[in-house]
Amino acid sequence: MTQSLTVADELEQAAARVDAAVAAVAKLEPAAQTAATELKQAIEAFHKLALTTIVRRLKQDPRGKELLLELVEDPAVYALLVMHGIVRADPLTRARRVLDGARPYMQSHGGDAELVDVRDGVAYVRLHGSCNGCSLSAFTLRKHVEEALLREVPEITRLEVINDQATPAILRTEAQEAPAIEKGWLRGPAVAEVPPGQMVSFATERGSVLIVNLANRLSAYRNACAHQGRPLDGGMLDPDAGTLTCPWHGFCFDVQSGECLTAPQAQLEPFPLRVVDGIIWVRPQ
């Protein structure tokens, strides 16, 4: 029985076809390579011209503008417009690129940073290795990341470091002060209630929160799929792949970053998380 392809499947297949053609061109004789590249660029220029006209005309009409916004939601349309420079990639994608650019420098100093989300002008970043901690080098690396993000992505005005409290090293029971409830922290389940490879949701006055434990790294997200906002807690967690698949329409998410692997511009909403005396605390927005 043949199964119908999803839009994401079709997009992936189309992208793979382009990649295969580009790889094949790279193996041609230089003269043939030049001709093929010229053909590709000429067709792209032609498409860009027509697409720019379509977008400009749509923007001139209120109904067209609305339609354009709906169209940009489609992953294939969005990818095409970004490719031609007609719309800018969203701040999350641009911030991710900035971080990828800064990664060789961070790694050469024994550190790393992972972008979790960009929301309301704030970039939420999780730090690893020598980027973490209070040393002068950690401060310098953090500054480097922050300056690059603020400079390259004008929508970002602030960087917030997400406390990586859930790594095994931090799942200690040292006496620490419980996070302040008046600052928005809410008490969640005990760490023991969320064993590795499992997830637990709990209700709060700010909506349902999902806690996921992937190899002793805890993450907290709004218990709402980035597709249609339906609860994710009945989904399938694959600890080996590090993914969570929504039970409703099968969108797949990277558990550590919350990034949607099915529709790249979608993202789970992460919450800061702390572990104090074996209790998980979260700060939903």
Q: What is the DSSP string of 22-73?
A: HHHHHTS-HHHHHHHHHHHHHHHHHHHHHHHHHHHHHHHSHHHHHHHHHHHT
Residue reference for tokens 């590249």: 37
Nearer to ligand FES, 41 or 228 (CB): 228
Tokens of 86: 């007609």
Nearer to ligand FES, 9 or 100 (CB): 9
Q: Does 143 bind ligand FES (CB under 6 A)?
A: no
Q: Does 170 bind ligand FES (CB under 6 A)?
A: no
In whole angstroms, the minimum distance from the beta carbon of 237 to ligand FES comes to: 14
Size of the site for ligand FES (CB under 6 A): 9
The residues pairing with 270 across neighbouring beta strands, listed in sequence order, are: 221
Q: Does 248 bind ligand FES (CB under 6 A)?
A: yes
In whole angstroms, the minimum distance from the beta carbon of 267 to ligand FES comes to: 13
In whole angstroms, the minimum distance from the beta carbon of 244 to ligand FES comes to: 10
Interface with ligand FES (CB under 6 A), residue from 140, 157, 228, 285: 228
The kind and range of the H/E element at 158 are: strand 158-162
Q: Does 227 bind ligand FES (CB under 6 A)?
A: yes
Interface with ligand FES (CB under 6 A), residue from 51, 230, 239, 254: 230
Nearer to ligand FES, 112 or 117 (CB): 117
Q: How far apart are CA 141 and CA 113, in angstroms?
A: 9
Task: Of 99, 75, 79, 98, give the one whose Cα is nearest residue 89.
Answer: 79
The kind and range of the H/E element at 225 are: none
Q: How far apart are CA 243 and CA 233, in angstroms?
A: 13
From the list 59-67, 103-111, 156-164, 245-253, the region that binds ligand FES by CB under 6 A is 245-253
Interface with ligand FES (CB under 6 A), residue from 78, 202, 221, 251: 251
Q: How far apart are CA 41 and CA 167, in angstroms?
A: 48
Could you give the 3-state DSSP secondary structure of residue 107? Answer: helix
- 125, 138 in Cβ contact below 8 A? no
Q: Does 55 bind ligand FES (CB under 6 A)?
A: no
Nearer to ligand FES, 19 or 73 (CB): 73
Q: Does 254 bind ligand FES (CB under 6 A)?
A: no
List residues near ligand FES by CB under 6 A: 225, 227-228, 230, 246, 248-251
